[in-house]
Amino acid sequence: MHSPFHNADLPLRKASRVITGMILAFSLLVGSTLTVGAKSGEFQKHITEPMQARAQLAAENKLRVQDVVHAKERTQELRLKKLADERAEIEASKSAEAARQQARASTARKTVAPKAPAQTQNAPQPQQNTGYSLPPMQPFPSDSYKEAVAKSKAEYEARVAEMNAKYESNVSKTNADFEASRAESQAAFDAFKAEHGM
């Protein structure tokens, strides 16, 4: 005695057989197409070679970007080293100038008074010149010394400000060049992808 669902199962079985047959036919079609394409060279021409070309171009673009980045980093490193050397030179000049000023100040302070000869009771006493007076002593440090120090400090600060501005300009230019180069490489790669339908 057949199941009441026997008649309903027949269309499902037929559909499953049809689907299985279609899958097998599609697999055979794909396999035969790949075989024929591999033998005739069409597979290599339309699939293998474009994929290899795309992979090679991607690798070349990656190397190009890495070279640009390395060159920019090296240039920036050299610029920073140059600026650091200039700063060190300015600091050394400032220290040397301060040492010279200090040496001048200490030399000016060391005024050695002449030693008076020993007087005896019988020796004639020199007459005192009441009409002569010593010139007034200049205050230390003098105005000229203060002006020289202020001028040196102003020149140093101006040089430091100039170096900082130059450094900021170089950093900005380096970053702008790097971004422009990276954008150019990316645009070329995108154009290649669009051209080859990647």
Residue 177 domain-assigned (yes or no): yes
46: Cβ contacts below 8 Å, ≥ 6 apart:
37
Minimum mean pLDDT range among 26-30, 33-37, 43-47, 136-140:
136-140
What's the structural domain count of the chain? 1
Minimum mean pLDDT range among 44-58, 99-113, 117-131:
117-131
d(CA 109, CA 41): 99
Residue 107 domain-assigned (yes or no): no
Residue 105 domain-assigned (yes or no): no
Residue 127 domain-assigned (yes or no): no
Residue 31 domain-assigned (yes or no): no
The reported pTM is 0.32
Instruction: Count Cα neighbours of 198 within 13 Å in the Cβ-side half-sphere.
Output: 16
pLDDT 10s digits, 78-102 = 888 888 888 888 888 888 888 888 8
CA-based radius of gyration for the chain? 47
- What integer is the mean pLDDT of 32-44? 75
Residue 51 domain-assigned (yes or no): yes
DSSP string computed for 172-183: HHHHHHHHHHHH
CB of 79 closer than 8 Å to CB of 170: yes
Nearest to residue 140, comparing CAs of 170, 90, 106? 106
Q: Residue 88 sits in which domain range?
A: 45-100+142-196
- What integer is the mean pLDDT of 156-172? 85
How many other C-beta atoms can be found within 10 angstroms of the C-beta atom of residue 189?
18
Residue 35 domain-assigned (yes or no): no
Residue 183 domain-assigned (yes or no): yes
